[in-house]
Amino acid sequence: MAQEDVFKKLVSHCKEYGYVFPSSEIYDGLSAVYDYGQYGVELKNNIKKYWWDSMVLLHGNIVGLDSAIFMHPTIWKASGHVDAFNDPLIDNKDSKKRYRADVLIEEHLAKYEDKINKEIEKAAKRFGDAFDEQQFRETNPRVLENQKKMDQLQERFAKAMNDVNLEELRQIIIDNEIVCPISGTRNWTEVRQFNLMFSTEMGSTAEGASKVFLRPETAQGIFVNFLNVQKTGRMKLPFGIAQIGKAFRNEIVARQFIFRMREFEQMEMQFFVQPGTELDWFAKWKEIRMKWHQSLGFGADNYRFHDHTKLAHYANAATDIEYRFPFGFKEVEGIHSRTDFDLSQHQKYSGKKIQYFDPEMGESYVPYVIETSIGVDRMFLQVISASYTEEILTKEEGSSDSRVVLKLPSVLAPVKLAVLPLVKKDGLPEIAENIVKELRFKFNCQYDDKDSIGRRYRRQDAIGTPYCITIDHQTLEDETVTIRYRDSMEQERVKIGQLTDIIDEKVNISTLLKKL
Ligand code: GAP
């Protein structure tokens, strides 16, 4: 099945099984805004807990923060967001549709990459085991030609973006004959800058109201609290402040489900270090964060770093951790060495000294910062994409011949176990209910006695429940139950008294944390 089809199915699965709903659906939805359903919210909370514990529990020198979404408007002037948090927009005069000029060009670049990959796939099939991809890339004339065109365009595009040259961006679109996907024409307007911040009014009267912004990142809440946390927590450098919270961006091209949203959540950590040590810390945080992703078992091949060659003016190193989504490798997390830019800017704009007195050096300075910034929703999409599996079955009583199963890491699964009486009589439901009463203090449990056991297994597979406990007539005799494992569908007979230990070992968050 084509990857786009898999993705479409995954999106409908998320809706059908209570993971993600379009926002305001009964009013026909609100573009690029989503709600998390009964299972979605549990998965999201588990992802956040895994991130939080890996930062705050595992590092004695990282503490948490929960700063407000509304902040003084000057913060966004100081951070550069008022002047420079822009997307270059272009309209097609025929379809009246608006696009991000950079995205149109990126999509055009991706077409060259697709052409190259198709040539490689074809050749790999033709040559079998003898195929040498590198040699093919270096010698095949069609691959070489497409690679050359792609490199030239990439270079021209990067320069235009770096110089914020809007005319040149438009010219690239014209020169490459990029058409509007709706009208099919090349009737383009000029390119204009569009600020991505949402604003609103704070205060009750029109005259007294002041314009405030909905934060486009959580990071600034950390920077402006640097001194509060450092002083009250008696923190010594190096130390970090971690925060999880909502962020808002008026994204123009908001697509691919929850990948790019207008309201989303970030998990950000700012790590304050002595100037001059920042690149060592940058390398350390790259490694730590990649390990965190890979600990979930989705396959090392599905991740890569994308080191930035063109850096923002305040950064001296930056990389993205990209995951192979069904629509290609895309950024999940950014790691940035932000120098002393943010703290210095807030020092300048607030007029307050924001410095750290280093007792070992005997001097004060503005610390440098390494930032790790990951979107909760993108991480959610990574987990769901990696877990969504369609399987053809050959056995299992009462089963249909295929199943959709979310092979979620057990630690992250919304429901850890379902307790299922085989029949709704003979005292089996009562035993099942007692098991739930006992285990619910430790795990998210579900009781289900409707439909055949095969259908109940399918329902639990579809929401990703790793363990199903079945109570049958033998339970009445010897207090044993069967435990069915979601991924292998194997069943094992165990004593009721063993359940807590068996399940806890697999679903306890410390199992994941210990891998880090
Ligand atoms: N403080 C740095 C910062 O915000 P960013 O690269 O703009 O950097 C960091 O965003 C992460 O936030 C991204 O890697 C992505 O996971 C997530 N993110 C950004 N914009 C998003 C959006 N519109 N929808 C969902 N997630 C988004």
Residue 93 C-beta-side C-alpha neighbours within 13 Å: 6
Confidence of residue 5 (pLDDT cuts 50, 70, 90): confident
Answer yes or no: is the C-beta of 504 below 6 A from any ligand 1 atom: no
Answer yes or no: is the C-beta of 346 below 6 A from any ligand 1 atom: no
Are 109 and 252 within one domain?
no
Answer yes or no: is the C-beta of 319 below 6 A from any ligand 1 atom: no
Give me the phi and psi of 235, to 5 degrees please: -80, 140
Q: Specify the amino acid at residue 142.
A: R
CATH number of the domain at 484, please.
Answer: 3.40.50.800
Answer yes or no: is the C-beta of 14 below 6 A from any ligand 1 atom: no
Residue minimizing CA distance to atom 21 of ligand 1 = 260
Are 221 and 334 within one domain?
yes
**pLDDT tens for residues 426-457?**
999 999 999 999 999 999 999 999 999 999 99
Confidence of residue 208 (pLDDT cuts 50, 70, 90): low
From 153, 173, 191, the end of a domain falls on: 191
Answer yes or no: is the C-beta of 265 below 6 A from any ligand 1 atom: no
15 Cα–ligand 1 center, Å: 23
Are 62 and 164 within one domain?
no
Confirm whether 224 is domain-assigned: yes
pLDDT value of position 197: 96
Determine how many CB atoms are found less than 10 A away from the CB of residue 28: 8
Are 33 and 100 within one domain?
no
From 392, 419, 441, the end of a domain falls on: 392
Tokens matching residue 515: 């891998």
Q: What does the pLDDT average to over 120-149?
A: 91
Tokens matching residue 276: 């001059």
Tell me which residue range forms the domain holding 204. 1-81+196-392
Are 351 and 410 within one domain?
no
**pLDDT exceeds cutoff 50 at 120:** yes
Are 493 and 348 within one domain?
no
Q: Specify the amino acid at residue 117.
A: N
Ligand 1 pocket test, pick from 102, 319, 373, 381 with the greatest ligand atom count within 8 Å of Cβ, gives: 373
Sign (positive or negative) of CA dihedral 180, 183, 184, 190 = negative
pLDDT, mean over the chain: 94
Map 322-346 to HEC letters: EEEECCEEEEEEEEEEEECHHHHHH
Q: What percent of the chain has pLDDT over 90?
A: 86
Are 55 and 76 within one domain?
yes
Contact, 321 vs 290, CB < 8 A? yes
Confirm whether 397 is domain-assigned: no
**pLDDT exceeds cutoff 90 at 2:** no
Answer yes or no: is the C-beta of 332 below 6 A from any ligand 1 atom: yes
Q: Specify the amino acid at residue 389.
A: T
Residue 463's nearest CA partner among 507, 422, 515, 403 is 403
**pLDDT exceeds cutoff 60 at 117:** yes
Domain count of the fold of the chain: 3
**pLDDT exceeds cutoff 90 at 164:** no
Confidence of residue 395 (pLDDT cuts 50, 70, 90): low
Ligand 1 pocket test, pick from 36, 264, 271 with the greatest ligand atom count within 8 Å of Cβ, gives: 264
Answer yes or no: is the C-beta of 396 below 6 A from any ligand 1 atom: no
The answer for residues whose C-beta is within 8 angstroms of residue 49's C-beta and 6 or more apart is 509
CB-count burial class (<10 Å; 0-12, 13-18, 19+) for 361: exposed
Sign (positive or negative) of CA dihedral 24, 30, 31, 33 = negative
From 343, 358, 392, the end of a domain falls on: 392
Are 220 and 306 within one domain?
yes
